[in-house]
Amino acid sequence: MDHFKELSDIIEAKKEEFFDLSDKIWGFAESRFQEFESSKLDAAYLESQGFKVKLGVADEDTALVAEYGSGKPVIGFLGEYDALSGLSQQADVAEHVPIQAGCDGHGCGHNLLGTADLAAAVAVKELIEQGKLKGTVRFYGCPAEENAAGKSFMVRAGLFDDCDICLTWHPGWMNQVNGNGSLANIRVFYTFHGLSSHAAGAPHLGRSALDAVELMDVGVNYMREHMIDEARIHYAIINTGGTAPNVVQSEAQVLYAIRAPRVGQVMELFDRVSDCARGAALMTGTRVDIKQVSACYDCIGNDVIAGRFMENMDKLLPIDYTEEELAYAKKFQGAITELDRASLKNAAKRIAGKDAAKLLEQPIWNFRVPGYAKSGGSTDVGNVSWVVPTAQFGIATLAAGTPGHAWQVVAQGKGSVAKKGMLTAAKLLAVTAFDFFTDEKLVQAAKDELAQRLEGETVPDALPRDLKPMIW
Ligand SMILES: [Zn+2]
Ligand SMILES: [Zn+2]
């Protein structure tokens, strides 16, 4: 039997189980390093399917590795299940109605992401069990993709050292294969310590930590003129030192996210940002503690894997949507801002040229967008891509134009459009894994390409050696 049909049939036969997992994880909505229920659920399911499961790896209680089979090749799927802070939202409602205000929600669709990777692993496992494939299939349950780069700790712990190929995907509103280049990204806390005093009675006895934060931010904002265009630096003042203007603030803290195309460039910028912090401390007579808490590397693309994704995606698309599903997507298109609409129009022009107006009539973009997707964000899939040939793709699970990291993503995360996307992603992951299980030369070509792209560069040492995964 054709392996497309065989793998698709396995996934279809178990689809209700996968929907149940995805919906439950959507409901748990657990953010970074708190994915206790989500990881337990995946671990229990994989165990029930005959996988050997280790939950709690790489100093991360909510990370898991599940494998089936033996020997080479070892092919891994990268699952995620973390939610985003403050994005609680009711399902299927096209207006912002939180289930519980201030609580978390699946604003990046990782309930679908992780479940499709798990489904692909289960489908491949069935073929190994039937003796139709030889090798090891592995599911990595990776926590804290958002904000803390959970995979970076798994890479550091050596969990990918014997892996030959890694595959994954991301939900979105375009069907497209990713190329090179998410941005490398590190996060750093700068905590200033000063001296408190009466701001009017004894200002000369105070040393303001808040002044230091402000001066540091000003310094960094001037620095922007003198850094590469592609770099991005963001900050959030986490602690202003209190709410009383008549007390000199003795403690203040700012969290920086520093991004650039390559991790080496990020480390250079990190030094310069830290110089701004040290300069601000000197100016204000305060002291600064610098604590880096994460390191996301840039993604090294892989044309060998990406080529297989493209060819296989073309065989799996288009997805068969019902009139109700198209109407559902249209309803959500009515809930985006004018800015998002303008961005959607730009995307349509870029992709369809003079046929842009026709494309904009389609509430779900049901075709493969040619070429490579380029991400302006960051992902810890990058860390894996430095040690294992890795590639990823996007499959539409959302109405075209839906903004990322927004309540609209949460709202659509349990719908049938999302679920059809999830199953398509699972099939694409499984059939592509099949290509590598059955062709040693293809595995070698992907490895050769990674070596070529690295040009002898070693894996960057951007994660502080003594840093443990932490909730912050
Ligand atoms: Zn995200
Ligand atoms: Zn994501």
The hierarchical CATH code for the domain 184-296 is: 3.30.70.360
Nearest to 390 by CA among 93, 175, 227, 151: 151
For 385-407, the pLDDT digits (tens) are: 999 999 999 999 999 999 999 99
- The single-letter code of the amino acid at 421 is G
Residue by residue, DSSP assigns 69-97 as E-SS-EEEEEEE---BTT----TT-SS--
Distance CA 238, CA 18 (A): 39
Q: Is the CB of residue 139 less than 8 Å from the CB of residue 52?
A: no
pLDDT at residue 206 above 90? yes
For 282-324, the pLDDT digits (tens) are: 999 999 999 999 999 999 999 999 999 999 999 999 999 999 9
Compute the distance from residue 285 Cα to the ligand 1 centre, in Å.
Answer: 39
Domain boundaries, the chain: 3-181+298-454, 184-296
Distance CA 23, CA 92 (A): 13
Which of the residue ranges 177-186, 208-217, 351-360 would you say has the lowest mean pLDDT?
A: 177-186
pTM of the shown model: 0.94
pLDDT at residue 375 above 80? no
Compute the distance from residue 83 Cα to the ligand 1 centre, in Å.
Answer: 8
For 314-371, the pLDDT digits (tens) are: 999 999 999 999 999 999 999 999 999 999 999 999 999 999 999 999 999 999 999 9
Compute the distance from residue 61 Cα to the ligand 1 centre, in Å.
Answer: 21
Q: Which ligand is nearest to the CA of 404?
A: 1
Compute the distance from residue 138 Cα to the ligand 1 centre, in Å.
Answer: 23
Compute the distance from residue 471 Cα to the ligand 1 centre, in Å.
Answer: 17
Q: Is the CB of residue 364 less than 8 Å from the CB of residue 396?
A: yes
State the pLDDT at residue 276. 98
pLDDT at residue 209 above 90? yes
Distance CA 306, CA 375 (A): 15
Q: What percent of the chain has pLDDT over 70?
A: 100
CATH 3.40.630.10 for domain 3-181+298-454, yes or no, is yes
State the pLDDT at residue 1. 67
pLDDT at residue 456 above 90? no
- Residue listed under structure tokens 């890694």: 166
pLDDT at residue 181 above 80? no
| Residues whose Cβ atom is located within 5 A of ion ligand 2 | 108
Q: In this structure, are strands 175-178 and 368-373 parallel, antiparallel, or unpaired?
A: parallel
